Structure 1
Amino acid sequence: MAFTPRTATTFSPPVMEARRWLDGVDFTDRPLINVSQAAPVDPPPEALRQVIADAALNQAEAHLYGPVLGLPDLRAELAAQWAAAYDGEIGPENVGITSGCNQAFCAALSTLCAEGDEVLLPTPWYFNHKMWLDMTGVTAVPLATGDDLLPDPDAAAALITDRTRAIVLVSPNNPGGVEYPATLLRAMHDLARDHGLVLIVDETYRDFDARDGRPHELFTDANWGDHFIHLYSFSKAYRLTGHRVGALVTSPARLAQAEKFLDTVAICPNQLGQIAALWGMRNLAQWVGGERAEILDRRAAIEEHFPKLSDKGWRLLGCGAYFAYVEHPFALPSDDLAPALVREAGVLLLPGTMFMPGDDPSGARQLRIAFANVDRADIARLFDRLAGVSLPLAPPPDRA
C-alpha cells in the first residue's frame, strides 16, 4: 500500500504512540501516574456544561453551519478582553475563531508559507508545529536553546535566509514550561520585522502564567498586525478540549486569507464550543483564577520535590504552566527510557526525542513531565518513584 510522502515521512502523533507503551503492563498494585499529556481530564464546571446542554436543546442555529471566522459575539468578547489585558488596539476584525489552537497555527502558516519555505522553531519544539510544517513541505529550522530553554535572537538572526517566512514561539512554553521575558519577545519581534518576517506567538497557556500583568507589549504597536500573529486556545482555561475552540489574532488582511483555509478544512468552528467559550469568558474569570492558583501550586510542588531527583543527577531545565522539562542521568536514551519507566516505575511521560531533531543528542537526555492533571500527593509519589529507579547511569556530561 502506497502513502503520500507528506504523511509517510511525518512522525506519528507522540501522545498516541506513548499510550501504546501501556499495553501488557499491570498497574493493579501500583496505579499509573500519567504525566504524558497536558490536556485537562476533568469536564468543564457544571454551570458551563449546563450552558452547552441548554444550547444543544434550545438553540436550533447551534446545530447549523456558522460563520467561517466564528461567532461575532465571541470574536468581539475576545477582542475587548485582549485589548484591556494587553493595552492594545484589537477589534473583532482582528479575531478569527478556529477549531482549536492547532488549527489556528495551520491557518496562520497557510498565509505565510509555500513549499520549500522555512520557519524557525526553537528546540525543544512543540511536536504538532513540526508535524504540520513537515506535511506541508515547509522546512522547520531548529533554533537551539541553552540550559535556560530561551532562544537567543542573535542565534535566530544567523539562521535567517531568503526562504525564511516566520519565527514561532510558544510562551509559556510547551514542552519546556518557561515563560519568555517581554524583552525577549520584543527582540524576536524586532528581528522578524527587520527581515520582513512574521513572529507567531502561541499563548495557549497564558492563563497559567505565574507573572501578573501583560506578558508582552507587542499589541501596543500601532501596526502590530504587520509582523505579529497571536494564537490562543480556550481548551485549557475552560476544559473544552473536545469542543475544539481556539483563536487566531492578526491583521484583517491576513485573516481574510486565513478564512480561505478555514472554510476549506472545517467550514466553521464548533458552535456549541463557541457558545461555551463565550459564556466562560463572561462568567468564569474567578473560576479560571482558581484553576491558575491550583496549577501554580502544583508547579511549586514540582520545585519543592525536585531535590529528590537532583541528588541523583537529574536537572530541572524548565518549569511553568503545565510542564516541567528535565534532564535524566541514565545511560538509556530517553526514547528507550520512557517506555522503561512505565514498567519500572508506573510512570508515563514523554521523551525529549519527541521534541527534538533526530540528530540533536540532547533529546536523548531529556524528558517532559506534564503535571497539570496530578495533584500534590501524586507529585510527591511521582518523584519518589523516579528517585527509586535503578538503571545504569550515563557518564557525567561535559559542561565546559
Structure 2
Amino acid sequence: MTLHPLNPALARTFVPPVMEARRWLDGITFPPERPLINVSQAAPVDPPPEGLRRAVAEAALNDPAAHLYGPVLGMGALRDELAAQLAGLYGGEISGAQVAITQGCNQAFCATLATLAGPGDEVIVPTPWYFNHKMWLDMASVKAVPLPAGPGLIPEPERAAGLITERTRAIVLISPNNPGGAEYPAEVVRAFYTLCRDRGIALIVDETYRDFDGRDGAAHDLFQEPDWDRTFIHLYSFSKAYRLTGHRVGALVTSRARIAEVEKFLDTVAICPNQLGQIGALWGMQNLAQWVAGERAEILARRAAMVAGLKRLEGWTTLGCGAYFAYVAHPSAEPAPVFARRLVREAGVLLLPGTMFMPDEDVSGQRQCRIAFANVDTAGIAELMARLAQLTP
C-alpha cells in the first residue's frame, strides 16, 4: 500500500540493511549440526561483565532518580569522566562542558549534523560508507557526496579537496572504519583536519571502534590543537567496549557553543539519554580498563584469524580488515546481493553485500561483501572459512 502523504526525504532513503538481511532468513531452517553463522551485524552478543550489571541493577532498585528524567546533555559525572579519559589518551584540553551524552553514537551523528547542515547542503562521506550515516543525510535532505577510498580503503585528502563546494559543511571519517576495517594513519587524519580548517568546514571523526584499534596509544593528535573544537567533532560509543548496545549510550565532543545547539536537538528527540545505561557506562569507565584490554586482545586475535583465513580462500580478496570488520571482494560472477542470499541457503552464512555500503552508481559494490567477525570466535572463524571454501563461486 502506498502511503499518502509521505515525506519524500524519508521515502528517498533505503530499507535498513541489517533488517533487510534478516528477512532473508525467513522460511529457512538450519540444522543443529550446522547452525547459522551470522556475520551481518557488529554488536556484542554477550551481556556486560557481572560488576557492571550489578551496578545497573542496584541503581534500578535503590536509586529513584535513575528512573526519572536526567540532564538533557547527560550525567555530569559521565561527561567529566569521558573528557578526562580522552585528555589522558589524546592529550590536549577537554572539559566535560564540551561533551554531550547521546542515545547511542547514531544519535550523536544525527545531533551533530542537525547543527551543521540543512536541506541542500553537502557532506563528504568516504565510500564504502556506513549506511546509517547515508540514511540520516537522506532524511535530512543533505546531499551525501561520495569520496571513493584509495588503496587499503584509506580516503585521500587531496581527492576530498576537489569535492568541496560552497555547499559543503563537513567531511565524515570513521576510524577504525565501518564497514572497511581500515585504521586511518594519524597523518591522514591530520591532513583532513588541516583541509577542513583551511576551508572552514567541520571534520567529524566517528571513533566508535577506537577501543579495538590494533595500534597502541592515540590514533591522532587533533585534541592537542589549542582551538581543536572550531573544526574537529569527535563521536564515540560505549556500546562496543562495555557491551551496552541495548542501553544506547554514545557521546559527541565539540565546542561549548555547538553543545548548546546540540542540546536543542536532544531535548526535542529524546529529552535525556538512558539513565541506567549511563550509570553502567560510568561504572565501566571507572572499573573495566583491564577487562576492556582483554576484549581488545580477543578482537585482535579474531582479526588475525580472519586475515589468515581469507588469505587461504581462493578467489577472495581482502580489501580491509580491522576492529569488527573485514571488507572483501567475493569470487562469484553473481551480483553481491544475489551471492549473499545464496550464502544463506547453501552455506548457512549471513553477511552483507557491498551494495549496502555504496552509491547505486558505484558498481564496485556488486563485487564486495562485509563480514562482521567480532561475534565469532576463532573456532567459528575457521568454520566460516571452511564453508566459504566449499561454496561454488
TM-score surpassing 0.5? yes
Measured after TM superposition, the shift of residue 329 of structure 1 is: 1.5
Q: 2-side partners of 1:377 and 1:209: how far apart?
A: 22
Q: 1-side partners of 2:141 and 2:266: how far apart?
A: 19
Q: Contact (CA 8 Å) 2:328, 2:369: kept in 1 or not?
A: yes
1:368 partner SS? strand
Identity within the alignment, %: 70
Runs of 4+ off more than 2 Å: none
Measured after TM superposition, the shift of residue 279 of structure 1 is: 0.4
Match of 2:286 among 282, 303, 315: 282
Match of 1:80 among 80, 84, 88: 84
Match of 2:234 among 214, 230, 235: 230
Matched, 1:21 2:28: no
Measured after TM superposition, the shift of residue 308 of structure 1 is: 2.5
Matched, 1:357 2:383: no
Matched, 1:141 2:145: yes
1:27 partner SS? coil
Which residue of structure 2 lines up, in the alignment, with residue 69 of structure 1? 73
Which residue of structure 2 lines up, in the alignment, with residue 183 of structure 1? 187
Q: 2-side partners of 1:180 and 1:307: how far apart?
A: 22
2:153 partner SS? coil
Which residue of structure 1 lines up, in the alignment, with residue 169 of structure 2? 165
- Give the 5 Å matches for 1:127-276: 127-276=131-280
Please tell me the residue identity of whatever aligns with 1:158: G
Q: 1-side partners of 2:390 and 2:73: how far apart?
A: 51
Match of 1:10 among 9, 13, 16: 13
- Give the 5 Å matches for 1:25-40: 25-28=28-31, 29-40=33-44
2:27 partner SS? coil
Q: Contact (CA 8 Å) 1:327, 1:367: kept in 2 or not?
A: yes
Please tell me the residue identity of whatever aligns with 2:251: A
Q: Contact (CA 8 Å) 2:311, 2:317: kept in 1 or not?
A: no
Please tell me the residue identity of whatever aligns with 1:11: F
Measured after TM superposition, the shift of residue 146 of structure 1 is: 2.5
Measured after TM superposition, the shift of residue 147 of structure 1 is: 3.5
- TM-score (normalised: structure 1): 0.96
Q: Contact (CA 8 Å) 2:52, 2:284: kept in 1 or not?
A: yes
Match of 1:60 among 35, 58, 64: 64
Q: Contact (CA 8 Å) 1:308, 1:384: kept in 2 or not?
A: no
Which residue of structure 1 lines up, in the alignment, with residue 329 of structure 2? 327
Q: 1-side partners of 2:252 and 2:356: how far apart?
A: 26
1:347-382 CA-partner distances (Å, limit 9, x unpaired) = 000000000000101000000000000001110010
Which of 273-282 and 382-391 deviates more?
A: 382-391
Match of 1:342 among 335, 341, 344: 344
1:26 partner SS? coil
Cα-Cα RMSD: 0.7
1:212 partner SS? coil
Measured after TM superposition, the shift of residue 388 of structure 1 is: 1.1
Which residue of structure 2 lines up, in the alignment, with residue 304 of structure 1? 308
Which of 4-13 and 316-325 deviates more?
A: 4-13
1:214-250 CA-partner distances (Å, limit 9, x unpaired) = 0000000000000000000000000000000000100
Please tell me the residue identity of whatever aligns with 2:157: P
2:146 partner SS? strand
Q: 2-side partners of 1:249 and 1:84: how far apart?
A: 15
2:162 partner SS? helix
Please tell me the residue identity of whatever aligns with 2:226: A
1:234-278 CA-partner distances (Å, limit 9, x unpaired) = 000000000000001000001101110000000000000000000
1:148 partner SS? helix
1:159 partner SS? coil
Any stretches of 5+ residues in structure 1 without a counterpart?
A: 392-400
Any stretches of 5+ residues in structure 2 without a counterpart?
A: none
Which of 20-29 and 66-75 deviates more?
A: 20-29
